[in-house]
Amino acid sequence: MNIIVVGCGKVGTTLVKELAAEKHSIVVIDTDPEKLEEIGNTLDVMCVEGHGESASVLREAEVDDCDLLIAMTRSDEINLLSCLIAKKLGAKNTIARVRNPIYADGINLIKDDLGLSLAINPELAAANEISRLLRFPSAIQVETFAKGRVEIMKYAIPEGSVLDELRIHQLRTHLKTTVFICAVERGDEVFVPTGDFILREGDIISFVAPIKVANDFFAKVGAVASKIKNVVILGGGRITYYLTKKLLESGLRVKIIEIDKERCEELSELLPDAMIINGDGTNNHVLHEERIENADAVLSLTGVDEQNVLMSIYAHQQVPDAKIITKIKHFDFDDVLRGMPIGSVVYPKHITADYILRYVRVMQNSWEASMESLHRIVDDRVEALEFRIRQQSEILGVTFADLNIRKGTLVACITRNGETFTPGGKDSIQLGDTVIVVTTHKGISRLEQILDSEMGI
């Protein structure tokens, strides 16, 4: 695909690197010549210096031959204008990063008028991810498939767990559960396991299950956390605003601790049902006064990574049973953070890049197949793909026992007529099914590519 990226800040640069790695033809537009030189020296991309909302600059970037323009500057207005002009000049699809809450409710009303294919709000996307994590306190990460009917969750096996030394095929007999473990992280290694794989304490497993089955699994492994009712949020930024709206609508009690008095006044007007405290969340005396020990969840969402890490460590010490979530802006020190007791880590910029990359992959692959969604899990080393079977194929109707599926690839589950199940050797894929595939192989775009050799039946 021919893709133009307007704005090469941190998220834009991450996008360019990922898209270039997937062999797309990339043109980068930015007003900063030093950033362009840095990107041009390290990646095989074309760079154009100038404003992304300029028709002449867009023409220089050959916008009329562009399959997709992605506007990622710091200005919502420039992003929207870039997309509108690009569409008028012949770009087939456009994506804009739009962050201002003022635009949140109205942007979908004018998407078609602006020629927008997608508007991505990083803070709203992060709030949605945090909301999913609060629904399943025992999970480290949660991804949704099949229109919300199926989840992929990540769970760390603790010391003394019933899962320790258990073979995966014994889950059905020993625990009477039908969760499907599709990936295991053990140290620096990642496994797409077979039924004989032996689980160990310390492993981080990713499993696929409908919501009821996931809840039942957590109960059987002794990982049942109390339902979250009281949430304390440290920091009153945009993510906090979006998240608090969702939590209040779900009936949760939310207390926000924000150091800036003017921002507290704004939040009090925007969120009248939340308790807004003007105070320093890094001060342990303030946290004690606000009874942090009564919280079911503590979320460190300030704009400073170091503060968030320290506050989450402190919250873990004071309320070890609470769900801890930590927002991190920079993901260069992921290895350092991994061993710290800071709960689930949320990277808003990473979420934004992944969301757009997922859209690009789905858009690209939809020209060839009915791929519904794509999630990158296990630190981007494993992909989970969702296919909707809308046309006949030689793979349909063939039992899994007779399919030569590639090593490192699993068919995790099938949804058929509203029912979700993990397929066995006698099952087969049928027309109309939704199929979730988990694989270590990158670039799969058609269901037939799960076979060891195409149509290797």
pLDDT (tens digit per residue) in 304-341: 999 999 999 999 999 998 999 999 987 666 667 777 88
Question: Is the CATH number of domain 370-450 3.30.70.1450?
Answer: yes
Q: Residue 451 pairs with which residues in a beta bridge?
A: 405
pLDDT > 80? residue 112: no
Q: What is the mean pLDDT of residues 161-187?
A: 92
Q: What confidence score (pLDDT) does residue 368 get?
A: 46
What pLDDT score was predicted for residue 455? 44
The residues spanned by each domain of the chain are 2-120, 138-220, 230-346, 370-450
Task: Residue 257: name the closest of 230, 239, 284, 275 by CA.
Answer: 275
Choose between 55 and 227: higher pLDDT.
Answer: 55
Tell me what pLDDT residue 443 has. Answer: 73
Q: What is the pLDDT of residue 372?
A: 78
Mean pLDDT of 361-375: 67
| pTM beyond 0.75 | yes
Task: Return d(Cα 383, Cα 377) in angstroms, integer.
Answer: 6
Pairing of strands 409-416, 419-421: antiparallel
| CATH annotation of 138-220 | 3.30.70.1450
Instruction: Please give the CATH number for the structural domain made up of 230-346.
Output: 3.40.50.720
Rounded Cα distance, 175 and 319, in Å: 30
Average pLDDT of every residue of the chain = 89
The confidence band for 453, taking pLDDT boundaries of 50, 70 and 90, is low
> What does the DSSP assignment read for 397-427?
T-BGGG--BPTTEEEEEEEETTEEE---TT-
The pLDDT > 70 percentage for the chain reads 96
Residue 212 phi, psi (nearest 5) = -65, -40
* Contact in structure between 281 and 304 (CB atoms under 8 Å): no
Helix (H) or strand (E) holding 269: helix 261-270
Tell me which amino acid residue 390 is: R
Query: Do the domains spanning 2-120 and 138-220 agree at the CATH topology level?
Result: no
Alpha carbons 148 and 212: distance in angstroms, whole number: 12
The answer to whether 434 and 388 are in contact (CB under 8 A) is yes
pLDDT given for residue 194 in this prediction: 87
Question: Cα separation of 433 and 417, whole Å?
Answer: 8
Q: Out of 3.40.720.10, 3.40.50.720, 3.30.43.10, 3.40.640.10, which CATH number does the structure's domain 2-120 have?
A: 3.40.50.720
pLDDT digits (tens, 9 = 90+) for 133-168: 998 888 888 888 877 778 899 999 999 999 999 999
Least confident of 124-128, 171-175, 198-202, 350-354: 350-354
* pLDDT for the residue 200: 96
Distance CA 426, CA 92 (A): 44
The answer on pLDDT for 456 being more than 60 is: no
State the pLDDT confidence band at 366, using cuts at 50, 70 and 90.
Answer: low
pLDDT for residue 106 is more than 90 = no
Measured in whole angstroms, how far is the alpha carbon of residue 127 from the centre of its chain? 11
Partners of 437 in the beta sheet?
385, 411
pLDDT in tens, 18-61: 888 888 999 999 999 999 999 999 999 999 999 999 999 999 99
SS3 at position 160: coil
> Per-residue pLDDT for 370 more than 70?
no
Which residues lie below 8 Å from residue 255, measured CB to CB, with a gap of 6+?
A: 230, 231, 232, 233, 274, 275, 277, 290, 295
> 320 is written with which tokens?
């070890």
